[in-house]
Amino acid sequence: MSELVKINLKVNGKNYSAEIEPRLLLLDFLRENLALTGTKSDGGSTSGTCTILLNGVSVKSSYILAVQADGSEIVTIEGIAENNELNHLQQAFWEMFAVQNGYSTPGLIMSLTDLLQRNSHPSEIEIRYWLDGILSRDTGYQNVIAAVQLAAEKMK
């Protein structure tokens, strides 16, 4: 067992301090230490179900050690709603039947949140390009693209 390392970070607006193993993945820290189980593991694939916002940028939390997130600000799917209401993107997913299984949807929402922060009116091609890092084989991507376009309209 290696020596524990202390980290401090903010997750969904709340400050946390923890002593952890240096090799602990950020994904496992969020799920196991903070019980934020909305961020999913795909069991070793690269599907992006574990996507979160790290200092405002979408990243795969299984690719990052928790110690690397020391001092950063994280938003997970649990922190994305606004005033306890679905935000525009979540609502659009609901309205356009873009919700897929419980594994894919959180990663899609977090990744597409980053896209809409960077580009408030992405074209279909830009959305498709952005989705390259998130795999979902349930219903395809057409309804997801429609949901992003609807969210962009609502956010005008």
Q: Return residues touching ligand FES (CB under 6 A).
A: 41-42, 45-50, 60, 62
Closest distance between ligand FES and the C-beta of residue 104, in Å? Answer: 11
Q: Provide, rounded to whole angstroms, the least separation between the CB of residue 25 and ligand FES.
A: 9
C-alpha distances out from residue 137 to 6, 142, 144, Å? 39, 12, 12
Q: Which is nearer to ligand FES, 41 or 143 (CB)?
A: 41
Instruction: Pick between residue 47 and residue 87 the one whose CB is nearest to ligand FES.
Output: 47
CB of 123 to ligand FES, least distance (A): 26
Nearer to ligand FES, 59 or 116 (CB): 59
Write out the DSSP string of 4-60: PEEEEEEETTEEEEEEE-TT-BHHHIIIIIS--TTS---SS--S-TTEEEETTEEEE
- Number of residue whose CB is nearest ligand FES: 62
Nearer to ligand FES, 54 or 152 (CB): 54
